[in-house]
Structure 1
Amino acid sequence: MIHPQPVTPASVDVARAERHQLPNGATLYLLPADEFEVLRVSFVFRAGSAVQQAPFSASTTANLLSEGTRSMTAQEIAEQLDFYGSWYDVNLDRDYAYINFAMLSKFAAETLRIAAEILLRPTFPEEELRTYCAKRRQRLEIDRTKVDVEAREAFAAALFGARHPYGTSSPAEAYDRLTRGEVEAFYRRFYTAERCIVVCSGRIGPTERAAVEALAGALPRGTESSAAAFPPIETTHDVRVAHPGAVQSSLRIGRLLFPRQHPDFVGMQVVATALGGYFGSRLMQNLREEHGYTYGVVAAMVNFEREGYFAIATQVGTDVTQPALEACYAEIERLRTEPMPDEELALVKNMMAGEMMRILDGPFGIADVTIENILCGADNGIIDENLRRIRAMTPADVQRLARKYLAREELVTVVAGDL
């Protein structure tokens, strides 16, 4: 059987979101997709952990929004959402809190009524707060017995410094000290119209649009201040976290680079994909297929609002920790010193284009990408531009970027395990 050759799409035409500035300062983006009978409304607040003053106040605020309002209990909220077949989700990163409501378009009014309770009238009941904090403390203490979590936290601190908001991690017992007043203060300061974008995707009829605009327009005004200054970055290049008795070591290798707006970010995504971005990548072939050091290894570019970094992550048997590290360094050095074969680069490009097409399959996937682009100061035209950049990459470009950004002396290495 002769399989057809994979073809990288020449272009991708993704609709730009309709932008509307609301009187209260919130920004609404509409992505109509009338062929679907569903609707998703995403509220994205600049309310991530980087802006918190009390440890865990950002994540606690986001997760307790639905745990009781002025007129509904947590159980009533859950039952109502379930009755209408609606879905509610909360995600938080260093920079943003993402509050998502998905629903059948015909139940938009009912679901958005519940959304209004959650977003506009949360009460953060003391009993729910204490229960939540106790559970999260226990979960965090358990997680921190795992070498993978130890390595992840140590890697962030090594890249940015333990005092930097992108690098800090708080002790689990800080959950016991978190007060309702601190949670409510965080909500009042950061869950405001000026700090919010709203992205609505799916079947958006006049009624649905009016309901979304009414909810977004009801977000309270706040005082939009300039971004807080972060302390200077303090990078440590080699960190070892002792975990006696661990049967595996968790490895992190990478370096601080730049956020998505940088002209070399897409090119470094190609470099990262070649190293560890798909099953047949160089690191997978070396560490898994050739040596059996690990079940899996990944490499990626990570984007924050103010910074970005390159990282490799894997877990290996304790007895092969050093050989696995050397194998990672060797693959990086090979990419720096030897031009990549054209056939391999073509495969990498096709893998990246295919993943892009997978993410853009459906209105909600398009909405996710739209949110990411908006937060980076771009519209959906950047998708086609990035695809053209990927298609234009040559073996010489890959080697040039690897040589420029992945010199051995610039890499940060973190190992957590039985040292």
Structure 2
Amino acid sequence: MEKSNDGLRVVLFPLPIQGCINPMIQLAKILRSRGFSITVIHTRFNAPKASSHPLFTFLEIPDGLSETEKRTDDKTFLFTLLNQRCEAPFHDCLAKLLVSSDSETQRISCLIHDSGWTFTPSVTKSLKLPRLVLSTYTVSFFLNHFALPKLRHEASQDSEQDDLVQEFPPLRENDLVRLLKEKREYLEPYLNMMLEATKSSSGIIFMSCEELNQDSLPKAREDFKVPIYAIEPSFSNFPASSSSLFTQDETCIPWLDKQEDKSVIYVSFGSLATMTGPELIEIACGLRNSGQQFLLVVRVGLVKGTEWNEVIPEELKATLNEKGKIVKWAPQQEVLKHRAIGGFLTHNGWNSVVESVCEGVPMVCLPFIWDQFLNARLVSGVWRVGLHLEHRIERNEIESSIRSLFFGNEGEAIRERMRLLQEKVGRSVKENGSASRALESLIDHISSF
């Protein structure tokens, strides 16, 4: 297999946010291990660190974003701007790459781009290059989220109902209101372009597996009518730490080494979520009151308008330091693998959810934005391998959830279900497992262009 791919080059184009860069670079590592040469085209904004990947070729294109635009909270607006301003630079970069490629030794097989890039169909059609889409969402969210503009028009903005959203299970009405609360005037045209770009592609790659998407994969194949490859958790042998946009605090690993097995709650809310100072204090107090050892990630920018964690009073910090450790960023996959980790208080980004399942770590769910609301419902209501805080950032709720997860019958049942799900998903990457078969089919597909 590797020999047959010698001389084939794959061009990858990640969307410039952490949760999209990590899976794309991990996919690049997988393809490189199977004999493909790799070129990554990326924006100047949030550029991946090329020196961490000496076996890849990196090509930077201008994105035209101002400093103010880079800091916007409306990610749909940001992605719309990126698509408008990157089309011409990307076309020129890819065209030059195709011209300079030696047909004997470096034939470019295809482009693989994040689903958030919507201008790519016209570019690749003009250059006669096959194109595949990488989705960093779970299949069910990607399949149904194109209906969100319609659902927004129908939803009551005051709804706190726990009723199921029939068109978008297992979302609840109160999840939908939170998901759509931001002003999203760009959402409908952006999603329409994304849908068309996906349907006209040569295939979709999902960083997921059949075991986590048994109901939605058949429907996705029917709706999109292109080959679909659910290859995760094949990434587990290719850590994401080397593609982190943040400097990781490696001191948390020796600190974990000193803790007892399954005694630590790991707390991290990803690269995009923001909260208020009082909310961070509630979380900190909940951790302290639980009596459980904890590793808390407070990302720079997590609390807007602050340098770091100065909103936490010094007296509270002193008591926190007795039971836990606070860092700016952590090597998450390494942390979740550690024997000392017994639970994960998480924002439920899809990468974090899959990493947690792969390591058998039960979760406390506190989603903030976008697909995180659906992921949290999968974790807590469908797979039942975690507890849901139901959007309440209150110290008593956090304390109670942590205690329930670590002690008592409910926590024991959750840990057992997580153990079984971990085994089920783990089998998918073994020979003849669903993710393993999907990866082999993807390799064959890319090699056939």
The structure with the larger Rg is 1
Fold-level similarity (TM above 0.5): no
| Greater share of residues in strand | 1
Normalised TM-score (structure 1): 0.26
